[in-house]
């Protein structure tokens, strides 16, 4: 997949990275705050919202259902919701751009209201399987028309009338699928029971409780979780403070670890236990990451990070850790390239259905930059040759994937030769200020070599 207006960028070896990295609001929480705000009665006030392409696509779609969303200043939004079950059919098709989360959660949110909506998106989103969401939603009575076996967009979804509660197991390790079912359950009569083996991110559960949903969660490591939601429910608008995104912080963290002499600080980063697999892994690799001033904000754990350049060593990353760092494997692969020894990342099948086939995109990026690796099934094993062991010099195909672009720009900050990525426009879907923020820390980017 290619973006028609692509903008290549090159990163070259930088001096030490220093200073404060104020990364933007968490994407998952931002998406959920807008969606729950649009479902609730009354007003929801949001601060720290991520102002990015994905979040703005969701805001646009929610207006189509009748909610009133107003941006009052950067990151500061007011949402006037309709009440659960009161969304109307949008007059035009809904374009979710690059956003898998926005589109899939909204499918769930409209599934038990008798309305119809057409979902579409950019070339990347149109190639991503929607079966994983719409097939489980049929238990509530939805029907849909889409493209082929994978139910690709454009997809027309018809919400169910008088939906009844369901008991269902989510086989895919996906917070998006789980969340879609939880949102559908809000307007279904009775107690829905949704179980999942993997402990995927739990922001929907936490936020639903804060908006007044009747929700229970019981979860156990290695066993999984069972969530119940009783519907129909009235949600009440509330205040949401969005913490800073650990998945965006990941790029600055790894950059500081691999660029000699670096020391950076990242204030107020979300440290929800289901989101910090990368930090756990980097600590095992020998990273100097200090977490200070742990506290709670808006029902989520946060803390300030201090990160120093570190000598890293290869480690085993078990498949059970995947849900807590699912978006961080591309940047972990970059850290692993600068480590000594092999880093084995196991159980990466979900990477194949992200904004790109991330397993394949990472492998190709490593290859063109001279980093040895093997792929065994869905495992990626990177053979790191230490801080000076990455040749670089390659041009990486990003396949409309923001995280592939930021990961390989990070590689170029410490490799022998500069690294080019073929397109940086998609970075705006999750982290529009990435280039400015990294430049302020000392990174060097060039539009042309």
- Active-site residue numbers? 327
Residue among 106, 298, 137 at smallest CA distance from 206: 298
- Which of 372, 373, 321 is closest to 350 using CA atoms? 321
CA distance 10 to 447: 6
**Shortest CB 44 distance to ligand S3P, Å:** 18
Q: Which residue is nearest to ligand S3P (CB)?
A: 28
Residue 274 CA to residue 277 CA, distance in Å, equals 7
Residue in the structure block whose two tokens are 């009354």: 42
406 in Cβ contact with 427 (< 8 Å) = yes
Asked if residue 96 lies in contact with residue 109, where contact means CB atoms within 8 angstroms, the answer is: no
Answer whether 347's CB lies under 8 Å from 380's CB.
no
Peptide bond between residue 154 and the one before it cis (omega within 30 degrees of 0): yes
> Cβ 203 to ligand S3P, closest distance in Å?
7
Least distance to ligand S3P, CB of residue 178, Å: 7
Cα(286)–Cα(87) distance, integer angstroms: 50
User: What values do phi and psi take at 37, rounded to 5?
Assistant: -60, -40
Return d(Cα 48, Cα 243) in angstroms, integer. 7
CB 425 within 8 A of CB 6: yes
Complex with ligand S3P: residue 12 or 201, whichever CB lies closer: 201
For residues 37 and 203, give the distance between their C-alpha atoms in angstroms, rounded to a whole number: 14
Rounded-to-integer distance, Cα 106 and Cα 96, Å: 10
E strands, 346-435, in order = 373-376, 379-385, 395-396, 419-421
Q: Report d(CA 47, CA 206) in Å as an integer.
A: 17
User: What are phi and psi for residue 322, nearest 5 degrees?
Assistant: -55, -45
Question: What's the min distance (Å) between Cβ of 34 and ligand S3P?
Answer: 12
User: Least distance (Å) from ligand S3P to the CB of residue 177?
Assistant: 6
CB of 387 to ligand S3P, least distance (A): 30
- Residue 106 tokens, joined: 């909204």
Beta carbon nearer to ligand S3P, 323 or 418? 323
Query: What letter would DSSP give residue 160?
Result: P
Contacts to ligand S3P by CB under 6 A: 28, 101, 174-176, 179, 200-201, 326-327, 350
Minimum Å gap between C-beta 335 and ligand S3P is: 19
Residue 383: name the closest of 348, 345, 421 by CA: 345
């Amino acid at each position: 997949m290619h973006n028609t207006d692509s903008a290549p960028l090159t990163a070259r070896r930088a001096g030490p990275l220093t200073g404060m990295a104020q990364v933007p609001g968490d994407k998952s929480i931002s998406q959920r705050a807008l969606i729950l705000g649009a479902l609730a009665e009354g007003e929801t006030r949001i601060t720290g919202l991520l102002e990015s392409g994905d979040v703005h696509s969701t805001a646009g779609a929610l207006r189509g259902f009748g909610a009133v969303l107003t941006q009052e200043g950067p990151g500061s939004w007011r949402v006037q919701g309709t009440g659960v079950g009161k969304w109307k059919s949008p007059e035009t098709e809904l374009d979710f751009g690059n956003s898998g989360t926005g589109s899939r959660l909204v499918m769930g949110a409209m599934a038990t209201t008798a309305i119809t909506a057409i979902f579409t998106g950019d070339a990347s989103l149109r190639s991503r399987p929607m079966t994983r969401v719409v097939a489980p939603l049929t238990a509530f009575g939805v029907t849909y028309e889409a493209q082929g076996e994978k139910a690709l967009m454009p997809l027309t979804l018809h919400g169910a009338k008088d939906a009844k509660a369901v008991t269902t197991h989510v086989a895919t390790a996906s917070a998006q699928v789980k969340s879609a079912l939880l949102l559908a359950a809000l307007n279904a009569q009775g107690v829905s029971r949704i179980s999942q083996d993997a402990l995927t991110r739990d922001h929907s559960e936490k936020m639903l409780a804060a908006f007044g949903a009747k929700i229970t969660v019981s979860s156990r490591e290695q066993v999984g979780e069972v969530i119940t939601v009783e519907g129909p429910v009235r949600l009440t608008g509330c205040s949401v403070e969005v913490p800073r995104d650990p998945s965006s912080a990941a790029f600055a963290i790894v950059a500081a670890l691999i660029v000699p002499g670096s020391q950076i600080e990242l204030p107020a980063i979300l440290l929800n236990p289901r989101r910090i697999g990368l930090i756990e892994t980097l600590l095992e690799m020998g990273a100097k990451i200090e977490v200070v001033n742990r506290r709670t904000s808006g029902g989520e754990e946060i803390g300030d990070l201090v990160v120093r350049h570190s000598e890293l060593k290869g480690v085993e990353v078990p498949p059970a850790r995947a849900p807590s760092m699912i978006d961080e494997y591309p940047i972990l692969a970059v850290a692993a390239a600068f480590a000594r020894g092999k880093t084995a990342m196991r159980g990466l099948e979900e990477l194949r259905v992200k904004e790109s086939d991330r397993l394949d995109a990472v492998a190709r990026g490593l290859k063109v930059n001279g980093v040895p690796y093997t792929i065994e099934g869905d495992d990626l094993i990177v053979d790191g040759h230490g801080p000076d062991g990455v040749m670089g010099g390659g041009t990486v195909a990003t396949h409309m994937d923001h995280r592939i672009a930021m990961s390989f720009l990070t590689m170029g900050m410490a490799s022998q030769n500069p690294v080019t990525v073929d397109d940086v426009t998609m970075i705006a879907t999750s982290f529009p200020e990435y280039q400015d923020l990294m430049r302020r820390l000392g990174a060097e980017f060039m539009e042309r070599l």
